[in-house]
């Protein structure tokens, strides 16, 4: 099994603050998800989309999957993404994270290539960036146990398994303004992001 073949985009959130489903955001009449997929194809052979609306992806070039353990939040998405992946380590991000940083992805790969870790996550202060991160197929059973105990927070997982943490100062070399972790959560966020593209 290859080490770094698969990327997963989680597109099943509730989008409650956006007032419409974030997986269908469009930028200049093109779906943001398609823009992200095209960027990820520079680095990954297999792209998986985890969605609660699979019928909206008929004809997609990606593998489309749904949560196996329902109503448990993003941890369910990580679970099914790992199960359906074709590599030991799988890159995860959310569908509202448009600023894919290929150089940082390659940096993370190099940091863990020769290690036997379960996850690679960036730390910023006391906070963890659980996406724009790698997880290993080795932790599928750990996730299932947490989900069945109704433990939904990803931090329960990363505290439990062998996680490699990248320091903020090292990550900022690749994204000084931290925009590679930007989430588009509201219409204001979306407008701000579109304006930044025009700039």
Is 179 among the annotated ligand-binding positions? no
Which tokens hold the place of 25?
């955001």
DSSP assignment, residue 79?
Answer: H
Is 67 among the annotated ligand-binding positions? yes
Is 199 among the annotated ligand-binding positions? no
* d(C-alpha 103, C-alpha 146), whole Å: 32
With tokens 């790992």, the residue in question is: 82
Is 63 among the annotated ligand-binding positions? no
93 touches 9 (CB < 8 A): yes
DSSP assignment, residue 89?
Answer: E
With tokens 């749904």, the residue in question is: 66
Is 22 among the annotated ligand-binding positions? yes
Is 12 among the annotated ligand-binding positions? yes
SS3 134: strand
What residue numbers does the annotated binding site for Mg(2+) cover? 96
What residue numbers does the annotated binding site cover? 10-12, 22, 67, 96
What residue numbers does the annotated binding site for GTP cover? 10-12, 22, 67, 96
């Amino acid at each position: 099994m290859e080490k770094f073949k698969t990327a997963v985009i989680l597109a099943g959130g509730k989008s409650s603050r956006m007032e419409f489903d974030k997986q269908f955001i469009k930028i200049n009449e093109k779906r943001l998800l398609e823009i992200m997929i095209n960027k990820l194809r520079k680095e990954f052979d297999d792209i998986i989309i985890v969605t609660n609306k699979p019928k909206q992806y008929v004809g997609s070039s990606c593998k489309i999957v749904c949560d196996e353990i329902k109503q448990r939040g993003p941890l369910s998405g990580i679970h099914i993404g790992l199960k359906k992946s074709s590599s030991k380590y799988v890159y995860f991000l959310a569908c509202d994270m448009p600023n894919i940083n290929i150089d940082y992805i390659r940096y993370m790969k190099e940091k863990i290539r020769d290690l036997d870790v379960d996850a690679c996550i960036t730390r910023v202060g006391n906070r963890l960036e659980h996406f724009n991160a790698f997880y290993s197929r080795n932790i599928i059973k750990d996730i299932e146990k947490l989900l069945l105990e109704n433990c939904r927070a990803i931090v329960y997982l990363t505290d439990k398994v062998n996680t490699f943490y990248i320091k903020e100062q090292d990550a900022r070399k690749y994204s000084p303004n931290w925009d590679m972790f930007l989430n588009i959560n509201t219409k204001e966020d979306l407008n701000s992001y579109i304006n930044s593209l025009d700039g």
